[in-house]
Chain A
Amino acid sequence: MSLNLEDRKKIGSALVVGGGIGGMQAALDLAESGIKVYMVDNKSSIGGVMSQLDKTFPTNDCAMCTMAPRLVEIGRHKDIEKITLSEVESITGQPGNFTVKIKKQPRYVDEEKCTGCGACVSNCPTRNTVQLQEREVITLEPQYEETVINILQKHKDRKGPLMPILQDVNEVYNYFPEKILKYISQETGYPLTHINRIATFYSAFSLKPIGKHVINVCMGTACYVRGAELLLEKFVDVLGVGIDETTEDMLFTLKSVRCIGCCGLAPVATIGDDVYGKLQSKDIPDIIAKYQKKEQ
């Protein structure tokens, strides 16, 4: 697109797409310099994300205090026309002379008359009806079912049973198979999203299968100042897997852990229940070989 200044006939208005804090400031600046501004936003009102924040990072300024004057200013500025509930469909033309096609969603409310009282929202008869899909019923394979049922049974009468249930399941399987989580959700009534959040929050839980021997290299302060990082590197080197990964033969999972409280023995690593204190990186290949040998 080659342009020379003669061709560029400026047609006198501007369009701002998006009515967030940036869009509002841009619209105001344009309008103040005498340009007619159209402001498009796909929501039913302008304000964007900032209107949902309490404070902004890193200055800790109050979001509303920044926004409110601009909102008011835009509301009463004669040169700014808001086109809400609308989206830009296409833009044609060239800088200085664009034609924009805007799709406006129906609002079903007369904007001229509405006072924003909100009575229609609370009186709407269909608002709170949720259309649910029929839920599939989860049944477990027989080899899982008995164990899981026993665990659920054991904690049935407890207050706040979810953590103990998950801990017991983790004890048996070392990780959470998706189906078991769904089953727990179905039986306990906890939403699956909630269970998933718990299952991914704690570092002792995993959604992926993990190896038979879990190697935890302590990265507590005492171990760190005594060179635990070098140990971890050696493990990565010897096993050929990264941190939080499992070897292909499903024998080892390498993890780094935050202090196992054996600081007197720093640097420390544990493999399963065995603790290796005052560990040196040159001993690591032999230790790994010991476990591999046991398996053969």
Chain B
Amino acid sequence: MVEKRRIELMLCAGTGCVAGGAFQIIEGLEKEIAARGLEKEVSVVQTGCNGFCGQGPLMVVIPDNIFYGWLTLDDIPHLVEEHFLKGRPIEKLMFTPPEEKEVLPMLSDIPFFKKQLLVVLRNKGIIDPEKIDDYIARDGYVAIEKVLTSMSPDEVIEEVKISGLRGRGGAGFPTGVKWKIASQQKKTPKYLIANCDEGDPGAYMDRSLIESDPHAVIEGMFIAGYAIGSSEAFIYMRTEYQLAVDRMKTAISQAREYGLLGKDILGSGFDFDIEIREGSGAFVCGEETSLIHSIEGDIPEPRQRPPFPAQEGLWGCPTVINNVETLANVPVIITRGADWYSGIGTETSKGTKIFSLVGKINNTGLIEVPMGINLRDVIYDIGGGIPDGKEFKAVQTGGPSGGCIPADLLDAPIDFESLQKAGSMMGSGGMIVMDEDTCVVDVSKFFIQFTNDESCGKCVACRDGSEALLEVLTRITNGEGREGDVEFLEELGETIKDASMCGLGQTLPNPVLSTLRYFRDEYEAHIKEKRCPALVCRNLIQYYIDPDKCIGCLKCLKNCPANAILGELKYVHIIDQDKCTKCGQCLEECPPKVSAVIKVTGNDMDDLKQLSEIIPVPKKKKKKKTE
């Protein structure tokens, strides 16, 4: 057990913060603490993902509960001396909400954390994920003891059924019902698979969950295994998530050491063990029948259902496949009771949901909120709104299978049904925020590119249909859209939905269909007016230097990769539109005070062309100065 210290530094060691240099910070802190002889008083704890990834590398100082973000190695000596030695917290490193001056020292004051409700992530940032004792100290593995000593498998299933828990992988199938089907099957052995093949772009809930609390997943798997009568379980993880895989390996070996996995657990006669299987980068493997094929070493293509995996799955045996987040809910339901759990959320969607809040938003990170919270609260209160005072445009939920939800539906509650009604879906929980600078046609094209790439090729509708969608979308973004393209996209989208076998194909047109529903005018602007309202699609925009603003500093000219800018020092620069590749470098280079480079689209382009012809030779800037 860890000795109690005066100050504990909970340093986030999730992938985001590690990439930001968290391990170097930890090393630096330990060195500095040792140099000042504080080892007995201050300890550094590596926790899993804290969630506030946009601020990483970050730490929380316990017991004061002070939050420090954006740490650098240079801050450390000052921090250790001022705060840990002299007891004066440093304001400079604390969180200040954008557009406000007041710093918020305490973790609990920061709006990002305030509106969250931590059920699944109850241990995030509080325990060291690589120490089983930490988990046990937070009532870990109590649920295992409870089910083994006082509950029959049927009672466990009943409890989960009453709790109203639904699958967190996307479709939202009631977990208790799935377990019931598997437990009724006569064939043995039965298998349990935890699905952590999180392939959605823009989503990292499962990875963070395992990085911050792997034992909760193990405990959930154990209970599920007990309920359905399975002694062999697999956890299928993406090989790209190396840190999560390593932590899971550590956690499993610790649980074995403690006798919580293996033969005859806690003297109950029940055997249970978990094996890790890694995927190798195929999105379709998140689909349950493909996943089964992948574990079997077969071609990971989906197959027709029924029979459902719960009836006939891995090696033809009954198999329950649950998302890891679903499984991490189970121990809480057992220890705190189904009634408590079903008190959270809405009529049809119970409990909480983890989302990864990313894109054009101030506070990017991982959040857990009760079902039924509305999108406005998530984006403006927790997410802190849109950066740089830009306008909110839409939020994309459910990844490539989901759809865009526009601004006027911001007050809709987040639950399985209402998201579906809005043309999107819960999905695994990616939430990508887009502002006015995001072109919805371009984003749709991006998603179709993704699904087209990842389609396994088994069904014609998905394989060739996505290709056809992509062709039309590319045409539209290139400014070659034709009359009737919008209607064609709609018709094709519906066909792909109807004619595909697995979830990937059935949902792949969603991004297109939902944006067509809410942003049809943008598609039409691309097609009819050859105009990209968000100024994104390259063939439809032009960069242009405002002659009234340009100070002739040569900055853009020197950095232009295509040598498309003409001009001299103190002469107004002109962009040669024939050479310009529209990379946007000049816009980045132009000093913010000057901001002479602008983007234009549609009819505005023609107006500006004339201007640049009027001043073919750079004119002297001196005249301007005398004005």
B358 touches A222 (CB 8 A): yes
| A161 with B434, Cβ < 8 A, contacts A202-B281, A260-B240 known | no
A58 touches B297 (CB 8 A): no
B464 touches A57 (CB 8 A): yes
Interface string of A186-205 (1 = CB under 8 A from B): 00001000100110011111
Closest chain A residue, CB of each to CB of B297:
A162
For the complex, is A126 an interface residue (Cβ under 8 Å from B)?
no
For the complex, is A38 an interface residue (Cβ under 8 Å from B)?
no
B239 touches A265 (CB 8 A): no
- For the complex, give the distance between the alpha carbons of A266 and B450 in Å: 18
B358 touches A266 (CB 8 A): yes
Most buried by B among A58, A170, A219: A58
Q: Which chain B residues lie closer than 8 Å to A258 at the CB level?
A: 199, 201, 283, 450, 453-454
B432 touches A265 (CB 8 A): no
Q: Which chain A residues lie closer than 8 Å to B53 at the CB level?
A: 262-265
- For the complex, give the distance between the alpha carbons of A216 and B295 in Å: 26
B358 touches A167 (CB 8 A): no
Count A interface residues, CB 8 Å.
51
Q: A162-B297, A222-B201 given. 6 additional CB < 8 A pairs?
A: A58-B499, A222-B364, A225-B360, A259-B199, A259-B200, A264-B358
Q: Which chain A residues lie closer than 8 Å to B559 at the CB level?
A: 282
Q: Which chain A residues lie closer than 8 Å to B360 at the CB level?
A: 225-226
B20 touches A220 (CB 8 A): no
Please name the 9 residue pairs, one residue from A and one from B, whose CB atoms are nearest each other, closest first: A264-B53, A162-B297, A275-B19, A261-B204, A220-B201, A202-B280, A221-B202, A263-B358, A203-B281
Interface of chain A residues 247 through 274 with chain B (CB within 8 A)? 257-266, 268, 273
A221 touches B438 (CB 8 A): no
For the complex, is B15 an interface residue (Cβ under 8 Å from A)?
yes
- For the complex, give the distance between the alpha carbons of A55 and B465 in Å: 14
Interface of chain B residues 268 through 308 with chain A (CB within 8 A)? 277-283, 294-300
For the complex, is B130 an interface residue (Cβ under 8 Å from A)?
no
Q: Which chain A residues lie closer than 8 Å to B438 at the CB level?
A: 225
- For the complex, give the distance between the alpha carbons of A233 and B559 in Å: 15
Q: Within the complex, what minimum Cβ distance (angstroms) separates A124 from chain B?
A: 32
For the complex, is A116 an interface residue (Cβ under 8 Å from B)?
no
**25 A-B pairs in the complex with CB atoms less than 8 angstroms apart:** A55-B499, A57-B495, A57-B499, A58-B465, A59-B495, A160-B315, A163-B277, A163-B278, A194-B299, A220-B202, A221-B202, A221-B447, A222-B358, A225-B359, A225-B438, A233-B583, A258-B450, A260-B15, A260-B240, A263-B358, A263-B364, A264-B16, A275-B19, A281-B585, A282-B559
For the complex, is B68 an interface residue (Cβ under 8 Å from A)?
no
Give me the interface of A with B, judged by CB distance under 8 Å: 55, 57-60, 159-164, 166-167, 170, 190, 194, 197-198, 201-205, 219-222, 224-227, 230, 233, 237, 257-266, 268, 273, 275-277, 281-282
- For the complex, give the distance between the alpha carbons of A205 and B280 in Å: 7
Q: Which chain B residues lie closer than 8 Å to A230 at the CB level?
A: 583-584
Q: Which chain A residues lie closer than 8 Å to B461 at the CB level?
A: 57-58, 60
Give me the interface of B with A, judged by CB distance under 8 Å: 15-16, 18-20, 53-54, 56, 198-204, 207-208, 239-242, 277-283, 294-300, 315, 356, 358-360, 364-365, 396, 399, 430, 432, 434, 438, 443, 446-447, 450, 453-454, 456, 460-461, 464-465, 468, 491-492, 495, 498-499, 559, 561, 583-585
Q: Which of A167, A170, A221, A277 contacts B201 (CB 8 A)?
A: A221
Q: Which chain A residues lie closer than 8 Å to B498 at the CB level?
A: 60
B18 touches A275 (CB 8 A): yes
Most buried by A among B199, B200, B359: B359
B460 touches A261 (CB 8 A): no
Q: Within the complex, what minimum Cβ distance (angstroms) separates B342 from chain A?
A: 31
Closest chain A residue, CB of each to CB of B492:
A58
| A201 with B279, Cβ < 8 A, contacts A222-B202, A225-B438, A275-B18 known | no
Q: Which of B203, B208, B434 contacts A259 (CB 8 A)?
A: B203
- For the complex, give the distance between the alpha carbons of A203 and B283 in Å: 10
Q: Which chain B residues lie closer than 8 Å to A265 at the CB level?
A: 16, 19-20, 53, 56
Q: Within the complex, what minimum Cβ distance (angstroms) separates A213 from chain B?
A: 16
Q: Within the complex, what minimum Cβ distance (angstroms) separates A265 from chain B?
A: 6
B364 touches A257 (CB 8 A): no
